[in-house]
Chain A
């Protein structure tokens, strides 16, 4: 379990990162927190020629509250958000989801944008981003700066709209809206494990916007009616996700949790477990 050889470059500026990505494209990987990359490197599941370390790039290590969004830069660690006292007012869904991500040790290293870039279908941050209708900002040396809606950015298992020469420079979470309550709930085999089912909920008087992680090959969010129509809508949502059996849980179990936990979360959100 030793990585194949690669060149390591510690970038000093965003421009240098973009320059390197321009030069190496597909052969380069960006190293931020390394929580997925280091393991895959050591298992030789990925063998890039160049690893671009962005940890020292100050301009990527910024959190900004601007024009209705919380913008989180590429080098910002998850712990920087958990330490942000105002997060519970700014993006309450994210504040509630963050403690479910791995363990505090992994959150000390892991980055917000790294989780988005990796696009694990069970990951909490992509789920929040999709549920809230957030976006991903992509930059490249020669191309135009693109802001892609999260729902279009995630295209399947570990697959995103990012092009080889692009850097995810920041992700943008919409700020909390008045009259909306935000809840997060997750079932995993153990504390900090990949979610068997994760639910992110924006609850308004007239409807529920429910995001589901860990079931489809990407996070999926739907607006659901409240009241008598809810069970049918949840059933349709559950079946639409293409749930699959794996060594930890059956597809039927995952669908059932979407239906039953989804209904409980929407109708009795105070029962949601917190972490």
Chain B
């Protein structure tokens, strides 16, 4: 049903056609060569990482002696080693002396942060030894909410910095204050964008080697770039760039930006190999990945628009806080500044005021993620545009149309400095409305509403930046700081084409593809220029910084392939063709300008003709026949950088990206009134990505990004407890859309070639990650008539927006008050009744023998001080159990009325602490009722993978303590809450009702 994309220039070669991917035959037959598949050198050891169960804590000591004594364990890399051999990573902002090492050296600042590395003969033994490393922590108060982290009285993550706001910049473009003063209307909105990431199937893989002879590191990893980070890694390893040879495997199990975060592990495993004196391999597992790899930032944005009576926006004000997690990891704070040039979106708004604050919290550090910065920014901007329409009682479509950049204004310089290269925004909107059936969709909405259904239509317009300016990140610095550091700008892409003596063509690109099909398109480009069958061209996408052509902009990010890399391939192919034409012209004593390349032949129209391989072979076999100035051999490397990507100017104008595609989306959603489930009835996405090099691959990119964006809109969020515990450690809690949740969008295209790229192509891989979350949010806002739309729009959250008018709880079933925000994760109460007097109960509890008997799974209990014990306990529910080294304490003693029983401990599964305040109430029959109110905090693996069950598990474990107490006093189990509930229900429902 999709609108067919353009087939490219009529009568041309393979370029612009939907060629089948050359990558797939191998991948679909299981013949891919992923990082974990590659052979390892003999003697390779395997690493497992000890990770912090705490969100914020001082590391007091690390004792690896027991681990080192275990069979098969060869070494343990500690923070001391890291301090001795490495440097902290360079940080992208000035004036913030923050130390971000590849592993914790003094403090941990997020759950899952590496604390040391165990290196053993296999991964099983390495993981066995994890449990034997003793780390002593002093837990500190964590801060999770970015607004709270920015406050004066917040716990500070980096004492040397002194505050959690590590970068703050204010920008003024045009005359925003005047525009707001003169505005007929001021419309504002405050939005929060959740933490999430585009999750690859393949996690991180690193194989580290250290060559003692040269003092250099040779590291294979599925790092994806940008290779500006090669410098960051080399500086962290304290070696020159040439002594860090970084290599990538042939195939990738996806990245979507997230594999930029491999950089810390490249350094860590390099050091691990040095420590062990052998190659060290580490394969990240899913729990490690979800809690401690990398994610997009979560953001709080306060936005305001100055609007004329007829809906023209004259100024925008952004006040944004970006949450970068525990450390500002390079290239952050890039999430903000990638979008800086296009903060006005698709609209011709000349006045702009911005306040950007970068804040650190106790979460995993953020980094690249598909749609980098766009999801966050457009969620705020396009919710605001929707709100403008709502507040002025205008049609949202009309408000958008009145503000679009007009077609005759291109190339258009935005207020903050982007040069929008090309576009026909209004025409694209019209095309999308017509071919997507917009009028019919509105009728559908009206009909559904007439039937009493909740139905909404949402729209959004997005400018999709691609091919990042390597200098945009310096917009985070003041002009003075930039002047001192020297200008950074541009974006060099590289491609190499070699032709062997048999005429075989090998292309190399340094774009480290992660599944997009770069090999297919590079072959199409070369085939187009050289007139050969694309099937005969081999494209090598492995990157070896020790051998290949690369530069800092190399890598896979900012949708740079089609515009920049394919352009460099084209340039290299033209260089090769020029040489071949000269060779053929010399052979035939003709003019090189007459030489043609087609169908695997080199020829002159109505003249001589030779097979391509014969002409190419001449450069190798018969150098004597070559023309003057032709040195023989056949290998050409092209470098290309666009002149438009200039460094930021003194007024902070920045052309942050070379190309700017345009996207116009709209959708219709129906919401179930009871369940709050959102059904996407129709989704239309119309793209102008310049010239399409392979329309099928473009549509594949759109579908993939769209599906990930559905996840962002509806279900994905990295959840953290107020205590900093990480709650999304499995794919049963961090929810990705699966095939049944996928929706097929109607994809439409129009093509306005970019004047700035060699082939007229722009990036297209990230647009729906920017447009789709807000488009769905706008539709839900329209359906519910609500302004406070927050992602992900889970059924429970949506039902909350519809409203839950709860009938009262029957007597005896009233729930407990909700836990205080910021307090312990779990709070609850229960009670047991025992047939003994309060004094007897009290005396029994204080007897150490009692404690030993009533603590479930207590192997040993030793008195440590007054009512203080050290205990070795195994606790759990069902088959899930963990052994804790615990401290148990009785306090707040008020005999025989009340006391407090508390315990805390660490285990391989994480940390736990709990405390129960017990009140003894004497009953009329002389028995005692023990009322206990308890609170529990858990961290580490237990919280990450067991979130769904923590409350029930705590209830069981704490209930066990008191039931065992009752049992000890009476010799039989006590009736707990559940038994009492059943009795109550039997009364309420009649005797037969309860089952």
Contacts and interface: CB of A to CB of B under 8 A. Distances in A.
Nearest to B126: A2
A99 B285 CA distance: 30
B985 interface: yes
Contact of B993 (A46, A133, A223, A244): A223
A190 B995 CA distance: 30
B596 interface: no
A118 B878 contact: yes
Contact of B800 (A2, A240, A250, A261): A250
Given A158-B878, A239-B815, A247-B719, A43 B796 contact: no
Interface stretch (A53-61, A83-91, A172-180, A252-260): A252-260
Contacts of B735: 189-190, 193, 248
A5 interface: yes
A40 B881 CA distance: 10
A139 to B, nearest CB: 19
Nearest to B673: A260
Contacts of B945: 43, 45
Contact of A157 (B738, B941, B949, B994): B949
A3 B125 CA distance: 10
Category for how many chain A residues contact B: 35 or more
A253 B740 contact: no
A189 B710 CA distance: 13
20 contacts: A40-B879, A45-B881, A45-B909, A151-B995, A156-B877, A187-B795, A191-B738, A217-B955, A222-B985, A224-B989, A236-B813, A236-B988, A239-B810, A244-B952, A245-B818, A251-B815, A253-B799, A253-B804, A257-B674, A261-B674
A29 B947 CA distance: 24
Interface in B916-968: 941, 945-949, 951-953, 955-956
Interface of A: 1-5, 29, 37, 40, 43-48, 118-119, 121-122, 130, 133, 151, 156-160, 187, 189-194, 196, 217, 221-224, 231, 233, 235-236, 239-240, 242, 244-253, 255-257, 259-261, 264
B995 A222 contact: yes
Interface stretch (B74-82, B501-509, B726-734): B726-734
A190 B947 CA distance: 17
Contacts of A130: 995
Contacts of B877: 156-159
A189 B795 contact: yes
B978 A44 contact: no
Given A121-B952, A247-B728, A247-B733, A233 B989 contact: yes
A84 to B, nearest CB: 24
A191 B677 CA distance: 12
B20 interface: no
Interface string B154-197: 00000000000000000000000000000000000000000000
A215 B579 CA distance: 74
Contacts of B813: 236, 239-240
A256 B995 contact: no
Shortest beta-carbon contacts, A-B, top 8:
A158-B878, A249-B796, A157-B952, A191-B740, A1-B285, A253-B796, A239-B813, A217-B952
B123 interface: yes
A20 B728 CA distance: 37
Contacts of B947: 246-247
A244 B951 contact: yes
Interface in B787-840: 794-796, 799-800, 804, 806-807, 809-810, 813-815, 818
B452 interface: no
Contact of B806 (A48, A189, A255): A255
Given A121-B952, A249-B795, A221 B738 contact: no
Contact of B741 (A191, A251, A252): A191
User: Which among A29, A119, A222 has the highest number of chain B CB atoms within 10 Å?
Assistant: A222
A78 B537 CA distance: 50
Interface of B: 123-124, 127-128, 285-287, 674-677, 715, 717, 719, 727-728, 732-733, 735, 737-738, 740-741, 794-796, 799-800, 804, 806-807, 809-810, 813-815, 818, 877-882, 908-909, 941, 945-949, 951-953, 955-956, 978, 981, 984-985, 988-990, 992-995
A217 to B, nearest CB: 4
B727 A247 contact: yes
Contacts of A194: 732, 948
A43 B795 contact: no
Given A191-B738, A257-B674, A119 B993 contact: no
A70 to B, nearest CB: 19
Contacts of B732: 193-194
Contacts of B952: 121, 156-157, 217, 244
A186 to B, nearest CB: 10
Nearest to B122: A2
A249 B733 CA distance: 12
Contacts of A224: 989
B123 A2 contact: yes
Nearest to A160: B878
Contact of A246 (B879, B882, B948, B992): B948
Nearest to B46: A2
B741 A157 contact: no
Nearest to A251: B815
Given A45-B941, A189-B794, A221-B995, 7 more contacts: A5-B128, A43-B287, A158-B949, A190-B715, A239-B809, A252-B806, A256-B806
B989 A223 contact: yes
A40 B909 CA distance: 12
Given A156-B978, A249-B796, A253-B804, A190 B738 contact: yes
A224 B813 CA distance: 18
Given A2-B127, A222-B985, A257 B810 contact: no
B880 A133 contact: no
Contacts of A37: 879
A16 B340 CA distance: 69
A189 B728 CA distance: 14
Contacts of A255: 806
A269 B955 CA distance: 35
B878 A157 contact: yes
A26 B943 CA distance: 25
Contacts of A231: 807
B368 to A, nearest CB: 25
A5 B881 CA distance: 16
A4 B951 contact: no
A229 to B, nearest CB: 11
Contacts of A222: 985, 989, 993-995
A40 B880 contact: yes
Contact of B804 (A4, A217, A244, A256): A256
B992 A223 contact: yes
Given A249-B794, A256-B806, A189 B715 contact: yes
A44 to B, nearest CB: 7
Given A194-B732, A217-B955, A235-B807, A253 B676 contact: yes
A259 B808 CA distance: 12
A194 B981 CA distance: 25
A246 to B, nearest CB: 5
A158 B947 CA distance: 14
A248 B794 contact: yes
Nearest to A155: B978
A167 to B, nearest CB: 14
Nearest to B806: A252
Nearest to A214: B948
A187 B908 contact: no
A250 to B, nearest CB: 5
Identify which of A5, A157, A160, A235 gathers the most chain B CB atoms within 10 Å of its CB: A157
Contacts of A121: 952
A47 B881 CA distance: 8
B795 A196 contact: yes
A252 B733 contact: no
A5 to B, nearest CB: 7
A157 B953 contact: yes
A190 B736 CA distance: 9
Contacts of B717: 247
